[in-house]
A and B are shown apart, each in its own frame.
Chain A
Amino acid sequence: MSGKLLIKNNATITKKSVATHDVSLTSALPWIGPALILIALVVIWPVVELVRISFTDITIAGSLLDFHGFTNYRELLANPDLYPVARRTLLWVFGIVFSTVILSLPLAQLINQDFPGRKYVRWALIFPWAASVVMTSMIWTWILDAYSGEFNLTLTQIGLITEPVDWVNNPGNSFYVLMAVAVFVSIPFTTYVLLAGLQSIPNDIIEAAAVDGAGHWQIYRQIKFPLLRNSLLIATIINLINVFNSFPIIWIMTRGGPGYETDTTTTFAYKLAFIESNMGQSTALGVFNFIVILLIVSLYLKVTKATRTEL
């Protein structure tokens, strides 16, 4: 039926009338109102609540006493555990995002080539993206298990180690293992964004350069990479946010332990609130975390502004 409609009125379609209409805010509300309510409930309310508690004296049972000024913030800053955790968070965020981007660039280039089975290689890359991070963390915990894991088994067989190494629970290397798992789950999304960027580069530009005698590396360095800049920036910023917020990997594999040795500010804030019942300090840290995210988000908005207005 709709097909008929299309053919019958084909003649009336003109380019000019594609323009959208201007309407008042009140007529917009029935359409966007439900979305506004949902956003208010899941984002705005929790933000307001978080900030409010951070300035209040809160009991362990959760009842608010009175306005407290910056006491929670002062107590948090006086907490000696905060500083190693904050330093580790910097390593976590920059180490993971940097490694992810560096590894995803050649990977995107590779799966952009035409070769038999390319489709299945891309599908393989979907696995860590679609699978729950909780479950991926569980399987890495098992693979890296000191006595029963396949990683140590292989290392022993090829003669690299003689004694089992406890990768996940050994304080010396545990944090780097967590970071490696985080890189593993971040690569697929990043690679797909870069691949989309590569595919948007018109073929004739590259052909023209090749005709002019540019080599592969020259084409990549001087044509593809600059055109990829926007995708790269977007992928980096989204990764910064995701990695900063990352919770399940650390929670499943080490719980941030031993002590706070593998905590980031995100897991530390969770621990303070729900394990140590220290709501005051936890909300103060939560507000800090929120401000960090806000800064990254505003960077994202600035970067994407030009294309956003087109919609």
Chain B
Amino acid sequence: MKNTKSKTISVKKVATMTGAYFIAWFFLYPYINMFLTSVRSHEELYAHPTTHLPQAWQWRNYLDVWDNAPIANFLKSSLIISISATILALVVSLPAAYFLARYRFKFRGAFLLLVLATQMFSPTALIIGIFREVDFFSLLDSYLALIILNAGFNLAFSIWLLAGFFSSIPIEIEEAALIDGCTRIQALRRVTIPIALPGVVTAIIFTFVAAWNEFTIALTIISSINKKPLPVGLTQFIGQYDIAWEYLFTATIIAIIPVVVLFIVIERYLVSGLTAGSVK
């Protein structure tokens, strides 16, 4: 009796595992294909019939791509925009989140609503207004406009997530530091922020990845080829008659791997920031 029971459990487990591994493969599949395409030669890509695996693994695509496309420029733009936007978003959201967690004030509810609404309005819906505003400030084709816009549209995630972290830290810990002679800022810097560090790291990574992947605003605002960030710059491969898919996909692999690793690092906190004000 006992024996049959443990047998059915293991059969069930095998079924679960088979299903789960198949699903894992399915979601990885396009990126595996991307990688296998990135190490093929140009001739092989257009050979007919094609094959599942590369016939000759051409690793030097990963070196040649830097000479065959302005990848270094795209990468530089992406880094400048994403890092600056992340810093700006953090500097703005930290004090706001802390204050929301610690104090009640007039229009606090209205402010929370406003923050939540910004998360919901994607730049795509407002793109004409954004374009005209950037033009008004003579910032078309500039990094600065993209930095401010990326920081602004990702502010909500940071504020909600950090406010949640701050409000879970007992205020007595800070007050204890004050009694011990710390100033308010010192108490924040030495006590509160270190405890909220997982939240801060999550906010940093999330903003960075969102800015790294942003497409619509950059497509609309940036016109010089050497200022385009990766997602916009790489679309130029597509317009060509003889698309260099092998270089396109070496570049996308280079762009995707770091952000996937970063997202895995913050996996357990992702949901709480994105479903702000709903699931705890």
Contacts and interface: CB of A to CB of B under 8 A. Distances in A.
Interface of A: 1-2, 5-6, 8-9, 12-14, 17-18, 20-25, 27-28, 30-32, 34-36, 38-39, 41-43, 45-50, 53, 62, 107, 110-111, 113, 115-118, 120-136, 138-143, 147-150, 153-154, 156, 184, 187-189, 192-193, 195-197, 200, 230-231, 234-235, 238, 241-242, 245-248, 251-252, 266, 269-270, 273-274, 279, 282-283, 286, 289-290, 293, 296-297, 300-301, 303-304, 307-311
Contact of A14 (B17, B37, B172, B177): B172
A138 B129 contact: no
Interface in B1-40: 13, 16-17, 19-21, 23-25, 27-28, 30-31, 33-34, 37
A248 B148 contact: no
- Please give me the 9 A-B residue pairs with the lowest Cβ-Cβ distance, nearest first: A46-B129, A42-B152, A9-B176, A31-B99, A124-B24, A130-B263, A50-B129, A308-B277, A49-B129
B247 interface: no
Contact of B152 (A43, A189, A309): A43
Most buried by B among A136, A138, A184, A296: A138
Contacts of A230: 278-279
A293 B16 contact: no
Contacts of A113: 16, 20
A35 B92 contact: yes
Contacts of B135: 62
Most buried by B among A28, A32, A129: A32
B98 A42 contact: no
Nearest to A25: B106
B67 interface: no
Contacts of B157: none
A42 B215 contact: no
Contacts of A309: 109
A123 B268 CA distance: 11
Contacts of B274: 189, 193, 238
Contacts of B123: 42
Contacts of B238: 138, 141, 252
A81 B102 CA distance: 53
Contact of A293 (B23, B112, B121, B277): B121
A139 B235 contact: no
Interface string B155-199: 100010001100100111101110110000000001100100000
B271 A132 contact: no
A248 to B, nearest CB: 5
Contacts of B116: 297, 300-301, 308
B270 interface: yes
Contact of B101 (A115, A135, A311): A311
A34 B158 CA distance: 14
B241 interface: no
Nearest to A286: B128
B114 interface: yes
B125 A266 contact: yes
Contacts of A270: 124, 127, 216
A45 B163 CA distance: 26
Contact of A107 (B23, B25, B114, B159): B23
A259 to B, nearest CB: 19
Contact of A28 (B103, B118, B175, B212): B103
Contact of A135 (B113, B231, B267): B231
A49 B277 CA distance: 29
Nearest to A124: B24
Contacts of B46: 148
B68 interface: no
11 contacts: A8-B176, A17-B172, A124-B25, A125-B23, A131-B31, A131-B213, A133-B215, A148-B46, A252-B238, A286-B125, A307-B279
Contacts of A42: 118, 123, 130, 148-149, 152-153
B225 interface: no
Given A47-B129, A135-B255, A153-B50, A28 B278 contact: no
A35 B127 contact: no
Given A47-B126, A234-B275, A18 B170 contact: yes
B245 interface: yes
A48 B121 CA distance: 14
Contacts of B56: none
B278 A138 contact: no
Contacts of B191: 2, 5
A39 B155 CA distance: 8
Most buried by B among A41, A245, A311: A311
B23 A245 contact: no
